[in-house]
Amino acid sequence: MNLTAESHRIPLSDGNSIPLLGLGTYADPQKTPKGSCLEAVKVAIDAGYRHIDGAFVYFNEHEVGQAIREKIAEGKIKREDIFYCGKLWNTCHPPELVRPTLEKTLKILQLDYVDLYIIELPMAFKPGDALYPKDENGKYIYHETDLCATWEAMEACKDAGLAKSIGVSNFNRRQLEMIMNKPGLKYKPVSNQVECHPYFTQPKLLEFCRQHDIVIVGYSPLGTSRDESWVNVSSPPLLKDPVLNAIGKKYNKTAAQVALRFSIQRGVVVIPKSFNPQRIRENFQIFDFSLTEKEMKEIEALNKNVRYVELLM
């Protein structure tokens, strides 16, 4: 694969394509100053990013949309240059809620379509205003859901032109097979967004998805922000890894750049989050070096098969 900054897109099974590097935009809304996401997306676009990963539940989609629209108005980019991925939240799985939920996201973004719309998680919560509905004992209130019916509503969003491509997130092999074996399937998921990095390399899921033309989008590719409220911090910090740092030294690159390069060289799309201008630019500088087969194997051997993002819900 020729991975230059100019040609850093890979094909999707529906004829569209996805940039191998995107900007993740999840940051704790309580701890993040307003406007940080807006500035980060603008810096990223200026640095060459064309793929932005967001979600309604990140509570900053309005900033992402504003940044994209400002850069279009400046003449820096056209809408078709940008690849935006949005996500369907757990409380919106009933088929009749899918299109209105995407329309709400489009209204927040002030865009006409998203490039990719994905089911964020394979389980549903009780629909309603509470995004994390809980009972009097503090337990999540789940909702009987037919993922195949949700998927049919996703297909209708693609047909309506509201999403160019449709995919899933946090799906295991069984859940992917359930969709792919659905009678009357119109479009299969083009991608599956899952945790993926040198400490959690997902070899089996990656192979399964390769066989079925499903692109893996690797989230937390730098090992997360290590926010103890949702991250399993008993797994050591990825970016302190001696092997990643030693390989980085050889190429005059950081451990973060080596981790990202490792993923894209395996055909895994990466969406590192940074709201820091210097690190946003640093994370983009991964198209001017390549890892040898031996180094790829060395990094693959770091797999601990432990998730940072356990999604205990």
Whole-number minimum distance, CB 213 to ligand NAP, in Å?
20
Whole-number minimum distance, CB 23 to ligand NAP, in Å?
8
Q: What is the DSSP string of 63-111?
A: HHHHHHHHHHHHTS--GGG-EEEEEE-GGG-SHHHHHHHHHHHHHHHT-
Active site residue 251: no
- The alpha-helical segments, DSSP class H, found in 146-267 are 147-159, 173-180, 203-211, 242-251, 255-265
197 marked as binding residue = no
Interface positions with ligand NAP (CB under 6 A):
24-26, 53, 120, 169-170, 193, 219-225, 239, 254, 256, 271-276, 279, 282-283, 309
74 vs 201 by CB, closer to ligand NAP: 201
CB nearest ligand NAP: which residue?
A: 24
Helix (H, G, I), strand (E, B) or coil at 313: coil
Whole-number minimum distance, CB 63 to ligand NAP, in Å?
13
25 vs 66 by CB, closer to ligand NAP: 25
Whole-number minimum distance, CB 154 to ligand NAP, in Å?
15
Looking at the DSSP assignment, which residues form a beta bridge with residue 11?
17
Looking at the DSSP assignment, which residues form a beta bridge with residue 194?
218
Strands 269-270 and 215-219: parallel
Catalytic residue among 49, 58, 117, 199: 58
Q: Give which of 91, 95, 149, 116 is closest to 19, Cα–Cα.
A: 116
Spatial separation of the C-alpha atoms in residues 38 and 40, rounded to whole Å: 6
- The answer to whether 8 touches 287, Cβ cutoff 8 Å, is yes
8 vs 223 by CB, closer to ligand NAP: 223
Helix (H, G, I), strand (E, B) or coil at 174: helix
186 vs 226 by CB, closer to ligand NAP: 226
Annotated binding site for substrate: 143
Residue numbers annotated as active site:
58
Annotated binding site: 143
